[in-house]
Amino acid sequence: MRVGLLDFEPIRIAGLREIFAEQPDFQVVATDWAMAFKESSFDLVVVVLRDQAFSLALLARLRSRHAGLKVLVIGPGSEQEKILEAINAGAKGWLEDKASPTQVMQAAYAILSGSIWAPRKVLSTFVDRAIEGSAARRRRQSPRFTEREEEVLQQLVLARSNREIAQALSIREQTVKSYVARLMRKVGVGNRIALSVQAASGAWGEKDQ
């Protein structure tokens, strides 16, 4: 099985390589986001979070490119909302960065077998929210966007900052913030990551006339 390691710290990459090297079934490849977007032969991608918002926006985009890709996220702490954000972005599992080699392999095998690896309480909350969200979507029509809002959404999918979006669209950074806030209200999400995830899924696309 081919495993891609998405991380930028040589020491951490070396540690993960050593963990997987003990299992003869795995071929480990250190990669980067650009290569991961092009590469479609990974059985599993392990992502070590650095900047959570930036990494999860890229993860959502990666999952939209390779829908069946299985991703294990390794991040700091075990806060429920952080784990839920990772799962919403497309991760199939979450491990604390203090996880043992045994836990890393347990999570990898579970994800490769089709399961989700996360604390039971988090999974229960995820299911509850999915059911509530499905009911809410049935009660309301899909949001409609202006041409400028569509442009801002496209920039969000590319994981660009407000400053980068402002430069790309030749508008003020404060204007970008206003657009993002308006889009979150229109879509019905509470944060930028959720907005980026839904935009990356390609679920909408109608514009106001």
What are the sequence ranges of the domains in the chain?
2-131, 141-201
Question: Residue 207: pLDDT above 50?
Answer: no
Which of 23-37, 40-54, 103-117, 129-143 holds the top average pLDDT? 103-117
Both structure tokens of 175: 């204007």
Give the model's confidence band at 124: pLDDT under 50 very low, under 70 low, under 90 confident, else very high.
confident
Q: Is 2-131's fold the same as 141-201's?
A: no
Res 134: pLDDT: 56
Torsion sign over Cα 170, 174, 180, 186? negative
Query: What residue type is assigned to position 178 of the chain?
Result: S
CA distance 183 to 171: 17
pLDDT in tens, 42-75: 999 998 887 777 788 888 888 888 888 899 999 8
Confidence (pLDDT) at 112: 92
Q: What's the whole-model pTM score?
A: 0.62
Residue position matching structure tokens 């999400």: 189
Predicted confidence at residue 131, as pLDDT, reads 62
Instruction: Assign domain 2-131 to a CATH class.
Output: alpha beta
Domain 141-201 is found in CATH 1.10.760.10: no
d(CA 195, CA 58): 13
